[in-house]
Amino acid sequence: MFRPDLWEKPIVVLSNNDGNIIARSNEAKALGIKMGEPYFKIESFLKKNRVKVFSSNYTLYGDMSHRVMSVLQHLEPEVEIYSIDEAFISLPAGKTFDLTEHGHNIRNMVRQWTGIPVSIGFAPTKTLAKLANRVAKKNPQYQGVFDLTAQGDADEILARIEVGDVWGIGRQYSKKLNSRGIFSARDLKYANDTWIRKQLTVMGLRTVWELRGIPCIPIEDAPAAKKGIITSKSFGRPVTSLAELQEAVATYVSRAAEKLRSQQSIANSLHVFLATNVFKPEKPQYSKSIMVTLPEPTASTSVLIKHALKGLKELYRPGYDFQKAGVMLAEIIPASCRQRSLFDPIKSDKDLMNALDRINRKWGANTVRYAVSGFKKSWTFRRDHLSRAYTTRWDQLPVVKASLPGI
């Protein structure tokens, strides 16, 4: 959108630390580039074929996702934001209109207001809607919109979709289903309920019923609160010193605590983990975690950092090249469930955290942070091919040069 010079050019996006390919344009797919391919293995191939390479730019992706979701919420009364690039829309009951035309209207509006092309699939259940969306995305003749309800008998469509591509059916379930002779979404639709419930649990049975057009998974107005929050990243280079590990862990705790507060929750415990690079077996290996039970449940960044760093000191061993560290907040409960004492300092701490979150929301992440999380952060993951923050930084806004004919 911000680089029209790349239109119809092969493009790939890399994972954290510029490790693996996690997104490909159609032109890149046509070159045979596989999803998950390690970047270092095909770097020369990419250069030879003039493939444009970008590091993951989560700030830009998050902002553009917010814009797309805002347009959907403006156009439709009931929208569930499922992920950064997916949403479910519940259409008003009893309202009759041409769904394909309606889908194109939504698609055109999103494209006009944000510049982002989207695919839309209509169906009576969420599971079928995801499959309809897949058909819309992979078949150019539908121009990004596919109405499964207009197909009469959907079995012909379902028969062409592998069972592993059905929402909620992972690799392990696929193997189990294949051994039973279930290879397509259509096969799964007509599978035996008793066997499915025994092998795939009640969640698998719901998936089967959804394939039959029976709604079992409702639209959620707000995302369910997470029961565990993990923040972890690989380092851009091997880290050996405790001081740098403390910076990293404090940074991860700060982010996890922010997420915890955003869902109005508190944690009773936390886990800290360290690991060396398993892909370098010639180096000494170390991988351990530690659980820290908190004196009382909290969402305070300062309290969580304090206990996480205590756990880190117990974990740390000199002489290792650490490649990854992380933090998980666990035993999460609603903040309203916290028992308070008469002399509890929670009020002032809560006010401080609210102020911290407000400032960082307004002026950008880490505008205000705890000093222990560091400033230079030379350990952070690599992003050598990072695109500009076109929508969130004044100094990186795109510049348009225009002139009138004859002037």
* Amino acid, single-letter form, for residue 370: Y
First and final CA of the chain: distance in angstroms? 28
Q: With contact defined as beta carbons under 8 Å apart, do 396 and 388 qualify?
A: yes
Phi, psi values for residue 48, rounded to 5°: -60, -35
Q: What's phi and psi for 137, nearest 5 deg?
A: -75, -35
- Please check whether residue 170 is in contact with residue 87, taking contact to mean a CB–CB distance below 8 angstroms: no
**Rounded to an integer, what distance in angstroms lies between the CA atom of residue 342 and that of residue 59?**
42
What is the rounded distance in angstroms from the CA atom of residue 10 to the CA atom of residue 134? 22
Nearest Cα residue to 57 out of 84, 92, 78, 80: 84
Contact 323, 275 (CB under 8 A): yes
Q: Which amino acid is at 212?
A: R
Tell which residue, 246, 46, 26, has the closest CA to residue 119.
26
As a residue count, the chain comes to 407
How far, in Å, CA of 274 to CA of 249, rounded? 10
Residue 282 is a catalytic residue: no
Six-digit token string for 156:
């012909």
Kind of pairing between the strands at 11-14 and 21-24:
antiparallel
Catalytic residue among 43, 78, 86, 162: 86
Neighbours of 76 (CB within 10 A): 15
Question: In this structure, which long-range contacts are made by residues 210-214, counting pairs with CB atoms below 8 Å and at least 24 apart in sequence?
Answer: 210/125, 210/126, 210/127, 210/128, 211/125, 211/127, 211/128, 211/158, 211/166, 211/185, 213/124, 213/125, 213/128, 214/125
Q: Are strands 229-239 and 322-334 parallel, antiparallel or unpaired?
A: antiparallel
> Tokens at residue 211, please?
């394939």
The enclosing H or E element of 75 equals helix 58-75
Across 251-375, the runs of DSSP E, i.e. the strands, are 265-276, 287-298, 322-334
Q: Which residues are catalytic?
A: 86
